[in-house]
Structure 1
Amino acid sequence: MRNYLLRRLFQAVFVLWAAYTVSFGVLYLLPGDPATIMAAGGGDASTVTREQTDALRHQYGLDQPLAQQYGTRLLHALHGDLGRSVQSGTPVTRLIAQALPTTLQLAAAALLVAVVLGGALALLASWTRSGPLRRLLLSLPAAGVSAPTFWVGLVLVQLLSFRWRVFPAFGDEGFDSLVLPSVTLALPGAALIAQVLARSLRTALAEPYIQTALAKGAGRARVLFGHALRNASIPALTLVGVMTGNVLAGAVVVETVFARAGIGRETAAAVTVQDIPVVQGVVVLGAVAFVLTTLAVDLIHPLLDPRITTTTDRTAVAA
């Protein structure tokens, strides 16, 4: 177990370093000059003088060689300093700390909705004896995956906000304002969970131990929830862990559509003006969330299936 944790820790450090490095390189390949954009303040760049851009470039270290900039920023990041926003001058950690609670609220609600909707759809498709109903239920996830998030959000706003006035269209005050954004963000994930869980349940229900349980007189509910679901949920649980990073990425679009304050809006504004420290801070945040959730999923797996621990131990011994 100690070797396993050390290996996972090394992988986590590598993922964080790779995310930081790739985001640094991609952002510097974008066209345009961050100093000029910042000096213009979103206005006409032709009015900016060379002296203004040179001063800003020197102030934020943008006049240094690229390798030196990377090394300096990485060293500061290792000490918890992600730099300052080139747009506002505010420390990036403070900007993220201010915007994070709203985004976490949205992400948690979206994950909960995705798990409930996806799990219910897969269980209902596995429970029903009606072939046409089962095929209909299993066809819904494909539609959910293919529908663009921004389009789903606009449709929900049009129907439930403008036409029927059930939920507010914009803002982030109160529970009502959280419903439409969380459902919009949850639908693609719910579709994936339903697909994976339904396929796993179909495989599990065909296993010999299920036939043995049925032969001993176990009811369908006990077989489905007490035997098949426990083993079939492992791939879906892994998918939920991976989805955490996707939810944070999808929050950029959803928070923009629904005019919610959060990491998404901060990221959109930072990309517009090439605010490199802010974008890198958000990328690192997403990488940290991905690493922590995947580690938590790996630790939960043995609780669902003790054979995983045995297999891991045997592999470590053989190595």
Structure 2
Amino acid sequence: MTTDRAPVGVPFRFARWLLVRSAGALFVLWAVATLTFFAIRLIPGDPAEAILGGPGSQASDEALAAVRAEYGLDQPLAVQYLAALGRLATGDLGTSYSLRTSVSTLLAEQLPGTMLLAALSLSVAWMLALALATWSTRGGRVPAAVGAGLEVVAAALPHFWIAIVLILVFSTGLGWFPPISTAGPAGLVLPVVTLALPLAGFLGSIMRESLLDALEAPFALSARARGESELGVRLVHALRHAALPAIGLSGWAFGFLISGAVVVETIFARPGLGRTLLTAVTARDIPLVIGVVLVVAAAYIVLTVLTDAASRLADPRLRAA
């Protein structure tokens, strides 16, 4: 009986897990769209003026009334909200007020640049965090103190300050990299380092504590008793367990990088979702703001599911559960 039911139970549990995840994703997207819709309305100004070019356009009252009627801005706020949800439910993100272009087209153009920037920054942050955690736990008070200090300082540094210092040193002073993001690989170096440093400090602190615990765990003591070298214990056994908390936080790290991209893409004049979002908020471009936020939220959900799967692959205890 047990062997007959086991294969049936696994697909059922997976289907239930997938259903719960899907329902949670839909709820998050609805909440994000709702909060964004009402938050952008709290910004002072008339959306009709934004459609006609902003307050400086000096649009007539007749033109403003025509625009409000065309876009449904003369309807009650609740009616506008339901209409916006209806369009989003069909996959229609609308047309940008300020750029007069489909929001889907704009997002398709800006998304790859930001995803590349976030992926490279996350990879660099992981490498720096692993290197710092491994070096600071090799023994001795000096490496531990220096490693802890570097982690705290790096995690506390704001992105705009890092960007300014990097531009002054490596662009203005040494001339190694361009001050603005260009199409080549050299234009990615300073933006990637700017985003990666604070995240590396945070991940490094978590990895260092987990690595210290793993090195004193029973499986590490057993490996040493079998004659395995200290380097082998670290690389084969301890580092995998030390990386588990950081893997679980990679979804949060992605959101951290996207929020930082708003500052970094603006400073380095790099096209992307962050810079597009800042411009859209300034122009009260409601469809574009909602579109950018929804895409970021969807990417965050997908990455969270992937990190959950990666944690299960790396931790046998989660696979057994």
TM-score (norm 1): 0.93
- 1:62 Cα deviation after fit: 1.4
Contact 2:148 2:205 in 1 (8 A): yes
Q: What displacement does 1:251 show?
A: 1.0
1:181 matched to 2:191 = yes
Aligned-partner Cα distance in 2 for 1:171–1:310: 46
1:133 is displaced (CA, Å) by: 1.9
SS at structure 2 position matched to 1:88: coil
Provide the residue aligned with 1:132 in structure 2: 142
Cα distance in 1 for partners of 2:317, 2:194 equals 37
2:101 to 90, 93, 100: 90
Cα deviation digits, residues 244-274 of structure 1 (max 9, x gap): 1221221111010001111122111111111
Q: 67, 82, 91: which one pairs with 2:78?
A: 67
Q: Deviations over 1:4-52 (max 9, x none)?
A: 221112111111111111111111122211212333x24536x332222
TM-score (norm 2): 0.92
User: Does the residue aligned with 2:297 lie in a helix, a strand or coil?
Assistant: helix
Q: What is the root-mean-square deviation of aligned Cα atoms in Å?
A: 1.4
> Aligned pair in 2 of structure 1 residues 18, 43: CA closer, same or farther (>3 Å)?
closer
Residues in 2 aligned to 1:278 and 1:252: alpha-carbon distance in whole angstroms? 15
User: In structure 1, what residue type is equivalent to 2:63?
Assistant: Q
Contact 1:172/1:261 (<8 A) preserved: no
Residue of structure 2 equivalent to 1:3: 16
2:114 corresponds in structure 1 to: 103
**What is the number of equivalent residue pairs in this alignment?**
308
Taking the aligned partners of 2:51 and 2:25, their CA distance within structure 1 comes to 34
Report the Cα distance in structure 1 between the residues aligned to 2:279 and 2:227, rounded to whole angstroms.
61
Q: What is the SS of the residue equivalent to 1:44?
A: helix
Q: Residue 38 of structure 1: which of 47, 51, 66 is its match?
A: 51
Give the C-alpha shift of residue 216 in structure 1.
2.1
Q: Find the counterpart in structure 2 of residue 286 from structure 1.
A: 296
Deviation at 1:102, TM superposition (A): 1.6
Structure 1 consecutive aligned stretches of length 4 or more whose deviation exceeds 3 Å: none
1:156 alignment counterpart: 166
1:236 partner letter: A
Structure 2 residue 155 is matched with structure 1 residue 145: yes
Counterpart of 1:24 (choices 37, 50, 61) is 37
- 1:250 corresponds to 2:263: no
Question: How far apart, in 2, do the equivalents of 1:101 and 1:287 lie?
Answer: 15
For the 8 Å contact 2:132–2:204, the answer to whether it is kept is: yes
Distance 1:53 1:154 in 2: 42
Q: Cα deviations across residues 275-303 of structure 1 (Å, max 9, x unaligned)?
A: 01101111101110110001011112221
Structure 1: 5+ residue stretches without partners: 312-319
